Amino acid sequence: MRKPIIAGNWKMHKTIDEVISFVNHIKEEEIPSNIESAICAPSVYLSLLKEKLQETPIRVGAQNVHWEKAGAFTGEVGVPMLASLGVDYVIIGHSERRAYFGETDETVNKKVKAVLESTLLPIVCVGETMDEREQDKTAQIAGKQVRKAFEGVQAEEMRRVVIAYEPVWAIGTGRSATEKDAQEVTEYIRGVLAHLYNSEVANHVRIQYGGSVTPENIALYLEQPDIDGALVGGASLHPDSFLQMVRAIEMG
């Protein structure tokens, strides 16, 4: 059985006061442990979040990382830095990084390999643009991004990976994929993993859906046989909304 993982992606949001108020709110609440939950925050808050959330089951993730361990890379953060803070996850290849910061399948692959050398778990994002969907290239794009992201990754390491299927057109638009479409693509991705590795690995890897997930629609995705959680942007910013989503399985 794959343990679902609900991860909030705060993107470039919140001041320190807002982070503290979110954490204080959430610490008063019962957090279910039948799922994994995580907050992926701007790197300046990771240390604080690790400290404040240590008595809760909520894990902490970064939103990006460099593939080199250290060096003359002004403005970048390396895997050993995140590991030394006890950070649990790191998002790699988010479509905003691919679109605005020159992230490519090659850099995604380097980052995935660097992260898998550490104790951190990568959340690797793949997904098609609206143009690509309209040209019926959804499966082709997801397949290509998956193959390139995990080039050279061994089966044993692959078991630790989380994949987030995030159609670009659904991110931050309020226009989520239907649960049927999301299931179809996640099932396809699992098939690609079975082909690249074997069915045991394919059945072990967790695949999230992301793109305009809310407390209102999350249960629909979680009910799908190949969807193992969600990567949530906007709806993860408010503590009540985040809590409703991490409790969605309990309620369902």
Write out the residues near ligand PGA by the rule CB under 6 A.
9, 166, 171-172, 210-213, 231-235
Whether 204 sits among the annotated catalytic residues: the reply is no
Residue whose C-beta lies closest to ligand PGA: 233
Shortest reach from residue 234's CB to ligand PGA, in Å: 4
Q: Which two tokens stand for residue 81?
A: 């830095």
225 Cβ partners below 8 Å, 6+ apart?
183, 187
**E strand or H helix at 39:** strand 36-40
What are the distances in angstroms from CA 30 to CA 26, 51, 240, 244?
A: 8, 18, 12, 11
Cβ-based nearer residue to ligand PGA, 80 or 172: 172
Count of CB atoms within 10 A of residue 156's CB?
10
- Residue 117 is a catalytic residue: no
Cα 197 to Cα 37, 58, 120, 138, distances in angstroms? 27, 31, 21, 21
- Minimal distance, residue 78 CB to ligand PGA, in Å: 23
Among the listed residues 36, 66, 94, 128, the single catalytic one is 94
Strand segments (E) across 64-197: 89-92, 121-126, 162-165
Nearer to ligand PGA, 143 or 211 (CB): 211
Smallest separation (angstroms) from ligand PGA to the CB of 178: 15
Q: Determine the residue type at 242.
A: F
| Closer residue to ligand PGA (CB): 132 or 157 | 132
Q: Is the Cβ of residue 36 or residue 166 nearer to ligand PGA in the bound state?
A: 166
CA atoms within 13 A on the CB side of 98: 21
- DSSP type of residue 2: P
Task: State the minimum distance, in angstroms, from the CB of residue 175 to ligand PGA.
Answer: 9
Q: Which residues are catalytic?
A: 94, 166
